[in-house]
Amino acid sequence: MTNSIDIYVGRRLRRRRRLLGLTQANLGEQVGIRFQQIQKYECAANRISASRLFDLSEALHVPVQYFYDGLGDKDVANDTSTLPSDVLSQRETMELVRAYYSLEEEPRRRMLDLVKAMNLPSA
């Protein structure tokens, strides 16, 4: 049976993989498994062992704790209503973040200021 923490960890795995622009096959090659196994981890069909989680954290350049970040803050593990609407798992969001960080610092700051200004309530 799928546990809500397994779902959370799988979504964190998918989010980081997409942020780095890796395919499931790319990541699978790096850790020595097939892409189908990455798929199963991401949808929580299979649990991730401690040693595999360590390998994945190395391949994704994050500490193991990354996969659990946020669980204790607001009991995300038991609040499955927040998981499906996770905006950071959407492809468009990942493309936007990659494009944003590919900019130099000054244009990045100006873009942030522009977006903030666009979100201000009109007078």
Domain ranges (residues) in the chain: 4-84, 90-123
pLDDT category at 115 given cuts 50, 70, 90 is confident
**More confident of the two residues 88 and 91:** 91
Phi-psi region of 38 (alpha: psi -120 to 50; beta: other; left: phi over 0): alpha
pTM exceeds 0.85 for this model: no
User: CATH homologous superfamily of domain 4-84?
Assistant: lambda repressor-like DNA-binding domains (1.10.260.40)
Residue 93, Cα to own-chain centre: how many angstroms? 10
pLDDT at 79 over 50: no
Tokens found for residue 73: 């803050």
Which pLDDT score is estimated for 84?
Answer: 43
